[in-house]
A and B are shown apart, each in its own frame.
Chain A
Amino acid sequence: MSWRLRVTHTTEYRYASPVTQSYNEVRLTPRSDRRQNVVVSRVETHPATRAYRYTDYWGTVVTSFDLHAPHTELSVVGSSVVETGGEVAPTGGATWTDLRGEDVLDRYTEYLGWTDYVPRDRELAAKARELRRGLTPVDAVHAAASWVHSQMTYRQGSTGVHSSAADAWQAKEGVCQDYAHLTLALLRAMGIPARYVSGYLHTRADGAAKETVQGESHAWIEAWTGGWWAYDPTNAIPIGPRHVWVAVGRDYADVVPFKGIYTGGAGAGLTVTVELTRLA
């Protein structure tokens, strides 16, 4: 079972007064791996710029560009065609003892540590202990993701870009970013190396060919239990042909799709649209 998907991610800024200088970095380019094959991918900006592309510490393709002509509108379009594979099964075999081993602790130290988005939290740590009791690491990942899915209510606008796992847990609601951070907090408390994945999700499970749907930027997690494998806690489903991944990191901060600074302008208005089309 494999899909061919076209993803078009458009970000548009409008400024009340002209911006005189801006420097930006976008992470909109998916990468090929065993599960997905990137057929073509490009990033375009309007006004046009000379972009520079590089691969960052986490392996993500970054497009960097700057603008010096005064402008009141800036749009960035990332479009790619990607072939995705079938559903991902857990890879595992590591026991709790393996996970506590010096070797694993050191190799995955960055995916076990606490960050601003995934902070150490006493309450969540207690919950993590309770969830993992009697389970293998693989099952514990499922248990944590399902628990997050059952506790949280999906609501847009209830949390901001800067909310942490602890904030989301207090609010009991949020978006995919919060689901992912909360799951990471539980997994890291259990001692399972876990990382944040950003990407796209086709919203129809039975997506018809040639039909364009309004999709969304999406986020899920990957856990290491003898091997890395991904799971989508927001929808409580395994990663399948509908998922296209773009970047992985410790948390959202490492994979921010659009980051930059500007000067001279004021009052930004912003529209983000993601369109996904199943081509085959």
Chain B
Amino acid sequence: MSTMTSNGRGDGELFRGYLNPARPHAGAYDEMFSADASVRSAYRSLHEVLAPSDVADLSARSDALGRAFVDQGITFSLSGQERPFPLDLVPRVITASEWAKLERGIVQRTRALEAFLADVYGDGQIVRDGVLPRRLITSCEHFHREAAGIVPPNGVRIHVAGIDLVRDEAGTFRVLEDNVRCPSGVSYVMENRRTMARVFPDLFARHRVRAVGDYAVHLLRALRNAAAPNAADPNVVVLTPGVHNSAYFEHSLLARQMGVELVEGRDLFCRDHTIYLRTTEGERQVDVIYRRIDDPYLDPVHFRPDSVLGVAGLANAARAGNVVIANAVGTGVADDKLVYTYMPEIVQYYLGEKPLLPNVDTFRCWLPDERAHVLDRMSELVVKPVEGSGGYGIVFGPEASAKELNALRRKVRGNPRGWIAQPVVQLSTVPTKIGDKLCPRHVDLRPFAVNDGNFVFVLPGGLTRVALPEGSLVVNSSQGGGSKDTWVLAPRSSTVESELSGPGLVQAVPLDGVATEQGPELTASQQQQQQQQ
């Protein structure tokens, strides 16, 4: 490899002390090395490239990654500050066979969640049949009665789903949570890849990595399919809270890649249950809104009247069938952390199948026996609020003081519906560049699924978030997380290889090597004369 150096550093230096037995969570599954320090097959060629490379070379590439992100404005906002989302330069690799399993599981889960939402906002058959308690639904904060009876034209409510996966000590992928409201992060999947290919081309030369660049094509197809059949050429827009939103970069990227307008609430208005866009040439009707605003802010008529981000009258426009909201209003009931614990029942009930992806074992504080167990063993568990995202409010039992645990016990007793508990899942680790070394750091994975009504597409890849502080299990960007490019390897013999290519537009033209034309120039003899003068 070109990165081989002769300065005496090299073989293994980067990985020295990687499998230190004294590291925190030493039992976690490392995706590159098995317990006997041999390299797992998925990472073999990556390891071959990385191991002999020079630290200075890696650091230079790492700096280049950072600079590229800043110049392209690939940032997220944290308390008003724009920051780049740190991209680690060691990719995370998933083999073709592992991915095939994940893909089937994600499609299954998305279908089950769709059926569940259609039922919950329709007849509630699953409740009538006694499979789920009605209380589970009615007590959910994101169960919006305002959405009851709104039926989307093609039946899809979850146009985009992000399923968070972790890998346990045995290396098994498990679902940590579902995100079916406004899952974000897909822009980093695409930009990470683009940037990695620029600064680390030699890595790609040795792998067959499946492409992630065509996400927007699938999203746009799903959004256009969602429109009412009468809209011949549906007008799709992306609705953003505005430039100060933490995911603004993503909203703008998706709008650009789909070639549709990126709008704020004030660019839209509702008249007679129809939504219009304010343009320089007057108003234009909108058929589909891919919204990146949370339900409570979406429509001041039905939700928070003080919301200035939404569009007054939007919910009833959707009910009247004049506009489609994607993802639909009220999908939050499907990604409630307590509903999550019933996923095996939900999958079985609607699809008659066993779940292909297991959940993380979860104790439900609202069931008396499980609550007793949680209160008893709190110091060994991770206790999470059912409401909450971004990693806020999570208590790691083993790290909490007795006082904190007691306070938590009071909170759990006071609001059992509000808490769940899980064993401390030791998320798998992947080598990550920390200073001059590659060290094991914990990662999760958020693949994205897009449902166009006929077909659930799962983007081959996903957002791998990595917790950068040593021993940390919290990967959220708001808590010091970074990300990794996620490589799904193409199967050895497959049709997938032509994902981005295809038959040529027209028949290939025989090339006959016509030279480019040149302007008049002084002949050599003229030049000579001029010089001699």
Interface residues of A (CB under 8 A from B): 21, 23, 25, 49-50, 52, 54-58, 64, 66, 68, 105-107, 109-110, 113, 259-261
Chain A residue contacts of B319, Cβ below 8 A: 52, 54
Q: How far is the CB of B405 from chain A (nearest CB, A)?
A: 27
B313 contacts across to A, CB distance below 8 A: 23, 64, 66
Q: What B residues does A57 contact at CB under 8 A?
A: 145-146, 148-149
B71 within 8 A of A: no
User: Which of B13-21, B213-221, B268-276, B521-529 sits within the interface?
Assistant: B268-276
Given contacts A23-B313, A50-B272, A66-B270, contact A106 B300 (CB under 8 A): no
With A23-B313, A49-B272 given, can you name 20 additional A-B contacts, CB distance below 8 Å?
A25-B301, A25-B316, A50-B272, A54-B316, A54-B320, A57-B145, A57-B148, A57-B149, A64-B313, A66-B270, A66-B271, A66-B312, A66-B313, A68-B271, A105-B135, A106-B134, A109-B135, A109-B138, A261-B301, A261-B305
- Whether the Cβ atoms of A106 and B270 lie closer than 8 Å is no
Interface residues of B in 130-188 (CB under 8 A from A): 133-135, 138-139, 145-146, 148-149
State the majority secondary structure of interface residues on B: loop
**Given A260-B301, A261-B305, A64:B316 Cβ within 8 A:** yes
A52 close to B320 (CB less than 8 A): yes
Cα distance A261–B315 in the bound complex, in angstroms: 14
Most A Cβ at <10 Å: residue of B148, B313, B320: B313
Question: Which of A52, A56, A110, A113 interacts with B148 by CB under 8 Å?
Answer: A56
A-B pairs with the 3 shortest C-beta distances? A57-B145, A57-B148, A109-B135
With CB as the reference atom, state the residue of chain B lying closest to A254.
Answer: B145
Asked whether, in the complex, the Cβ of A106 is within 8 Å of the Cβ of B149, the reply is no
A21 x B134 contact (CB < 8 A): no
Instruction: Show 7 residue pairs from A and B whose CB-CB distance is below 8 angstroms, ordered by the A residue.
Output: A23-B301, A52-B319, A52-B320, A56-B146, A57-B149, A66-B271, A105-B135
Of all chain B residues, the one with the shortest Cβ separation from A55 is B149
Distance from B144 Cβ to chain A, minimum over Cβ atoms (Å): 9
A25 to B145, CA, bound (A): 15
Query: Would B134 and A109 count as touching, CB distance under 8 A?
Result: yes
**Distance from B305 Cβ to chain A, minimum over Cβ atoms (Å):** 6
* Complex Cα gap A26–B399 (Å): 54
Number of residues from B at the complex interface, CB < 8 A: 22
CB-based contact A52/B271 at 8 Å: no
Cβ-closest chain A residue relative to B311? A23
* Chain B residues within an 8 Å CB radius of A66: 270-273, 312-313
Taking CB as reference atom, which chain A residue is nearest B299? A23
| A76-B272 Cα distance, complex, nearest whole Å | 17
| B134 / chain A contacts, CB cutoff of 8 Å | 106-107, 109
Q: Do residues B149 and A54 form an inter-chain contact, with CB atoms below 8 A?
A: yes
Among residues of B, the one whose C-beta sits closest to the C-beta of A260 is B301
- Which residue from chain A places its CB closest to the CB of B150 in the assembled complex? A54
Chain A min CB distance to B162 (Å):
28
The complex places the Cα of A17 from the Cα of B214 at a distance, in Å, of 53
Contacts of A49 in B (CB 8 A): 272
Cβ distance A167 to chain B, nearest Cβ, rounded Å: 22
Q: Which chain A residue lies CB-closest to B272?
A: A50
Q: Find chain A residues with CB under 8 A from B135 CB.
A: 105-106, 109
Q: Considering the chains assembled together, what is the distance between the CA atoms of A29 and B146 in angstroms? A: 18
Tell me, rounded to whole Å, the shortest Cβ–Cβ distance linking A218 to chain B.
24
Q: Which residue of A lies closest to B121 (CB)?
A: A57
> Which chain A positions have C-beta within 8 A of B139?
109, 113
Instruction: Please state if B316 and A52 are interface contacts (CB–CB under 8 Å).
Output: yes
Question: Which residues from B are CB-within-8-Å of A56?
Answer: 145-146, 148-149
Contacts of B146 in A (CB 8 A): 56-57
Tell me the complex Cα distance, A180–B480, Å.
52
Alpha-carbon gap, A66 to B271, bound state (A): 7
B145 — which chain A residues lie within 8 A by C-beta?
56-58
Question: Which residues does chain B contribute within 8 Å of A25, judged by CB atoms?
Answer: 301, 316
- Chain B residue numbers with a CB within 8 Å of A55 are 149
Chain B hits for A64, CB < 8 A:
273, 313, 316
